[in-house]
Amino acid sequence: MKKILSAILAVILCASFCLLAVSCSETGSKKYTVGIVQLVQHVALDAATEGFKKALVDKLGEDNVVFDYQNASGEPANCTTIVNNFVSNKVDLIMANATPALQAAYNATQTIPILGTSVTEYGVALGIENFNGTVGANVSGTSDLAPLDEQAQMILDLFPEAKTVGLLYCSAEANSQYQVKVVKEYLEGKGITCKTYTFSDSNDISAVTTAAASEIDVMYIPTDNAAASSAEIIGNILRDKKIPAIAGEEGICAKCGVATLSISYYDLGYKTGEMAAEILKGDKKIEEMPIAYASTTKKYNKTIADELGVTIPDGFTAIAAE
């Protein structure tokens, strides 16, 4: 009888452990630590981080993910310090928000999964020749690249009388250089004179923008983190000189542009979070995940357009007032 009771007890205990294991599996109770390194605080990057966190909470559950959010305050060197700490702390995944953050993470670890977001062109950012859309190894992510030829054409469509276009960007941002190169080639192919104006950081952006405004008819500003952080300064100078601007993204356009062909950075971050959930749960391998892109929307800044007397054609959506 004792042997029979012992056998029954063993079966019950085994069944209990199995049910517990299934329950844990079904609720996804494993807790993950995700390190987030964001280059600088501004509207676009903030939205991407917010979307990323929301997606992971939606997919994994609020109790199953811990975020270690760190802001580099615009200093690439701080990105390196931050990701090295993530590596030492053995986080489960790193989300790198903006190109310098991605570059720092890429150089810091070859084992921890890295997802970039708000990165324009991964081949340029990581020095990959003949980039085919998939980084491989432990890196993937999302791109904020809108069709640059369509952005350039927007300049021609909205300002057909323009003869000279200024291209304003931070010389330290490789992806900004890439965008400007493509836009410049497109415009020059249409007979437009292009002048590039570079600044090294926010300290000289006012002087550079002021000089540019006296020499051009229209300004083009790519998705540039330094420009985004100083967009209000740029906008005050351009509006004073009555110079319209086409921006690479909505956040910059809201402060200093007339129009943009842009994406939703919140949606971009959310897509990145969905990718992170798939990696953490083991549903997909990061080395096989291609870079993902967001859909684009034509938007315009009603306040600046009205102020400069620019007529916006059908098909554009007004940027919501802050």
Q: What does CATH list as the number for 148-262+298-318?
A: 3.40.50.2300
pLDDT digits (tens, 9 = 90+) for 301-320: 999 999 999 999 999 999 98
Tell me which range, 6-10, 200-204, 229-233, is most confidently predicted by mean pLDDT.
229-233
pLDDT digits (tens, 9 = 90+) for 68-102: 999 999 999 999 999 999 999 999 999 999 999 99
Q: Which two tokens stand for residue 74?
A: 């615009």
Query: Which DSSP string corresponds to 106-158?
Result: HHH-SSS-EEEEEES-HHHHHT-TT--S--BTTEEEEE----HHHHHHHHHHH
User: Helices 148-158 and 174-189: crossing angle, nearest 10°?
Assistant: 50
pTM of the model: 0.79
Sequence ranges of the domains in the chain:
31-144+264-290, 148-262+298-318
| CA atoms within 13 Å, Cβ hemisphere of 178 | 17
C-alpha–C-alpha distance, residues 143 and 141, integer Å? 7
pLDDT exceeds 70 at position 52: yes
Give the pLDDT band (50/70/90) at residue 29.
Answer: low
pLDDT digits (tens, 9 = 90+) for 155-193: 999 999 999 999 999 999 989 999 999 999 999 999 999
Quick one: pLDDT at residue 322?
60
C-alpha–C-alpha distance, residues 48 and 38, integer Å? 10
Q: Which of 176, 241, 177 is nearest to 206 (CA)?
A: 241
Contacts of 299 (CB under 8 A, 6+ apart): 250, 253, 259, 260, 261, 262, 316, 317, 318, 319
C-alpha–C-alpha distance, residues 267 and 243, integer Å? 31
Torsion of CA 241, 247, 251, 253, to 10 degrees: 40
Give the phi and the psi of residue 132 in degrees, each rounded to 5: -105, 10
Structural domain 31-144+264-290, CATH architecture: 3-Layer(aba) Sandwich (3.40)
pLDDT digits (tens, 9 = 90+) for 230-242: 999 999 999 999 9
Quick one: pLDDT at residue 30?
85
Q: Which two tokens stand for residue 149?
A: 């030829």
To the nearest whole percent, how much of the chain has pLDDT over 90? 85
If you average pLDDT over residues 11-22, what whole number do you get?
A: 43
pLDDT digits (tens, 9 = 90+) for 225-276: 999 999 999 999 999 999 999 999 999 999 999 999 988 999 999 999 999 9
